Amino acid sequence: MASTLTKFIHSLDPRTLPRVLQIQSGIYFQGSVYEMFGNECCLPTGELIKIIGFKVNKVIASICESTEDSQCSSRIELPLNFPGLCKIVVDKTPYLSIEEIIRKVSIGPTRLGHPCFYCNEDIKLSNLTIKQGEQIMFNSVEEVNGTLTVNCGVVRDSQSHSFTLPLSQEGEFYECEDDHIYTLKEIVEWKIPKCRNRIVKFTNMLYTWDSSYPLPENFDGCLILAPIYEVQGVMKFRKDIVHILSDLDIEVKDVTDCYDINCFLQPLSMEDVFERTSKEFPMVAEVIEGPLGGQQPYNLLCPGKEIIIHKKYQATRILASEIRSDSHKRHFLIPASYKGKFKRRPRVFTTAYDLEIARNDKEQLHVVATKAFDSPHKELFSVSVGDQFLVQQCQTGEVLYQGRKKVIDVLACEQILTKSYKAVLLPMYLEGGFVELIHDKRQYQLSELCKEFRLPFNVKVSVRDLSIEEDVLAAVPGLQLEEEITDSYLLISHADNPVDSWEIPVYRLNMSVQLLSKPVEETVSIPTRTIVEEINEEQYYTVRRFENQALLPPPRPPKKPATLGPNPLLTLCRERQFDVVSTRKQTQSLVRLCAYLKSQLSFSFLFKRRKKKTLLYIKVTSYSLVTMIHLECRQELMCLYVCLFFK
């Protein structure tokens, strides 16, 4: 049965890909135009297309005045990075079975993929009864003994109870109220059920309105969202991947059961290649779609080139960021084989606790105070701007508290006087400012820095890597080496020069290949060429997120005596408000950071525009964490710093 491409894609389950479609009613443009703006616009009737993937390209929003009003006044197009935050209007139409929920609602490993429903009647299980109206969280779908089941959970008296529901479970399941705030991109990717409308209400518009913006000034209504997908497919007699927008006015029919999928081009992404077993390497492949960029080896991976993929493996990189005060920081992944040399740059510390973390047994840490601190206890030292210290070690000390002696953690230091040294104790909760004074003029290899010092660490390239044509790190005035990460790579070379091999990243390279049935002669001890990879902001946060999942919790923070009053670093931030001067660029940067942090942590935030200021409300909902959230505004930059410590 034929349907529009829009309707077919909206109901398509990605797990059933690939699918073969036949064009039942095509579309033609006058003249010889076959492609517009990178997307196919001319598809003749009878053409066969194998759909291999689809992703959201843009959003069409219909404006309505209220959640009850079905009349829409106009339609507008919104980009995925639209600078606004919105809340979901609950869908009052029930789902009639668990199978329908799984088929229409996105369920995934992150918090965004954990939808909540309630049933209008009790559900009796073997060891648990789910009460009528009780909130059920859907966590994942898995196959057990050939049967699909849903892993669910309910919370009772702060205790989580896990159970499974079969897809055959019937009943009226309603969507629960959702108090979270989402970006438009999060809504479109996770919160729009298939074959259903999604109504949202914007809580904040994070820009200064002018006539060029799509929504009316002071808009307070609702939007019905309809995503437009970019569909990736291959045709029977073409050796490239075609891109089709789902709103193209064509009718299609699913004919997967009538055709051999293997007769089409079989493009594989780098992730697909990496999932192959190690025994299948090496392999010969032809590049179907190459990556963008003029840096080697990316400029050599053009469509039609044959390459040899020798092996897959994990390799380490040092994640580094440019040291600068504005929002345009550059981020890099530096391979261990980098041959340039570095000189040290001063580090900045905000607390005495940071000094203890950075302390190195091989070298005394020498710092100068940039912020004064008055100690409430005579046993502890009061810091003045310009005081210099040599950091010794963490120890315990006694202070007088309400007539009694109390033991607290302190940092033992030596204050540098004109002709002598003075032993002093600094409270670990000291919130001041310190800058490192460096006396070391030595030049270090990257491996030496990682071995002798604790990251993060500030450096500057003093001798560039002469083995590469252009060393991008040499032009950066300062770098912070943040952490060592492990990532997935493929070793490739050109088929006509198999000994000249390169490492390419698996998850950051937009490239597709077709495997060829050609023999490969294994070469022994191939010299590997690596590059310093510059990554964008989104890739930077993705790399840090996946790496930090394996890290241990940070150490316990020092505790401040009760007489000193509440300390913002150690106070549980149940609800706080920050009032900061804002510009459009600032708020867009801030919402991206907040959206990322919100997906990783358990806090919600709310922006409100008032005249020329943005009010940021932050509500922490995870009571196992002690949290400080600090906003800093410098020129055109607004940064969000989040410090987390476990109780």
106 has a pLDDT exceeding 60: yes
What's the pLDDT score for residue 595?
Answer: 52
Give pLDDT tens digits for 62-73: 888 666 655 666
What's the pLDDT score for residue 554?
Answer: 47
Measured CA to CA, the distance from residue 226 to residue 57 in angstroms comes to 11
241 has a pLDDT exceeding 60: yes
614 has a pLDDT exceeding 70: no
The amino acid at 630: H
255 has a pLDDT exceeding 70: yes
Measured CA to CA, the distance from residue 34 to residue 495 in angstroms comes to 33
Helix ranges restricted to H, 492-583:
537-548
How many Cβ atoms from other residues are within 10 Å of residue 402's Cβ?
Answer: 8
CA 79 to chain centre: 19
What's the pLDDT score for residue 566?
Answer: 42
479 has a pLDDT exceeding 80: yes
* Candidate ranges 169-173, 208-212, 591-595; pick with highest mean pLDDT: 169-173
Measured CA to CA, the distance from residue 251 to residue 259 in angstroms comes to 19
605 has a pLDDT exceeding 80: no
* Mean pLDDT across 291-304: 76
Higher pLDDT, 522 or 561: 522
What's the pLDDT score for residue 205?
Answer: 63
Give pLDDT tens digits for 139-189: 998 887 778 899 999 999 888 899 999 999 999 999 999 988 888 888 988
* Mean pLDDT across 289-313: 82
Higher pLDDT, 123 or 40: 123
* Candidate ranges 24-28, 246-250, 307-311; pick with highest mean pLDDT: 307-311
What's the pLDDT score for residue 236?
Answer: 74
pLDDT over 70 for what percent of the chain?
A: 76
413 has a pLDDT exceeding 90: yes
What's the pLDDT score for residue 27?
Answer: 64
Measured CA to CA, the distance from residue 299 to residue 134 in angstroms comes to 56
* pLDDT-based confidence at residue 567 (cuts at 50, 70, 90): very low
What's the pLDDT score for residue 303?
Answer: 86
For residue 81, give the DSSP letter: T
Helices (H) and strands (E) in the chain, counts: 8, 42
210 has a pLDDT exceeding 70: no
Rounded to the nearest 10°, the torsion over CA 466, 472, 478, 483 is: -90
Higher pLDDT, 216 or 307: 307
For residue 147, give the DSSP letter: E
Strands (E), 280-387: 283-289, 306-322, 331-335, 341-344, 348-351, 365-371
What's the pLDDT score for residue 171?
Answer: 93
Burial class (CB in 10 A: 0-12, 13-18, 19+), 587: buried
Higher pLDDT, 74 or 34: 74
561 has a pLDDT exceeding 60: no
What's the pLDDT score for residue 66?
Answer: 64
Q: What are phi and psi of 82, to 5 degrees?
A: -55, 130
Give pLDDT tens digits for 6-42: 889 888 888 788 899 988 886 655 433 344 445 555 6
* pLDDT-based confidence at residue 414 (cuts at 50, 70, 90): very high
390 has a pLDDT exceeding 90: yes
Strands 528-529 and 497-505: parallel
How many Cβ atoms from other residues are within 10 Å of residue 311's Cβ?
Answer: 15
* Mean pLDDT across 353-380: 86
Structure tokens, 101: 């929920």
Rounded to the nearest 10°, the torsion over CA 42, 46, 50, 51 is: 60
What's the pLDDT score for residue 604?
Answer: 43
What's the pLDDT score for residue 602?
Answer: 41
SS (H, E, C) 420-479: CEEEEEEECCCEEEEEECCCCCCCECHHHHHHHCCCCEEEEEEECCCCCCCCHHHHCCCE
User: 506 Cβ partners below 8 Å, 6+ apart?
Assistant: 270, 271, 273, 274, 312, 487, 488, 489, 490
Measured CA to CA, the distance from residue 582 to residue 592 in angstroms comes to 15
Give the SS3 label for residue 594. helix
* Mean pLDDT across 458-468: 92
Higher pLDDT, 546 or 483: 483
Q: Is the pTM of this model over 0.85?
A: no
**Using alpha carbons only, what angle is made at residue 515 by residues 509 and 516, rounded to the nearest 5 degrees?**
140
What's the pLDDT score for residue 56?
Answer: 86
Average pLDDT, the chain: 78
522 has a pLDDT exceeding 80: no
Measured CA to CA, the distance from residue 446 to residue 320 in angstroms comes to 12
* Mean pLDDT across 513-538: 82
Measured CA to CA, the distance from residue 255 to residue 21 in angstroms comes to 6
Higher pLDDT, 310 or 546: 310
pLDDT over 90 for what percent of the chain?
A: 28
Residue 579 β-bridge partners: 615
Strands 116-119 and 95-97: unpaired
Measured CA to CA, the distance from residue 614 to residue 594 in angstroms comes to 14
Higher pLDDT, 26 or 441: 441
478 has a pLDDT exceeding 70: yes
263 has a pLDDT exceeding 60: yes
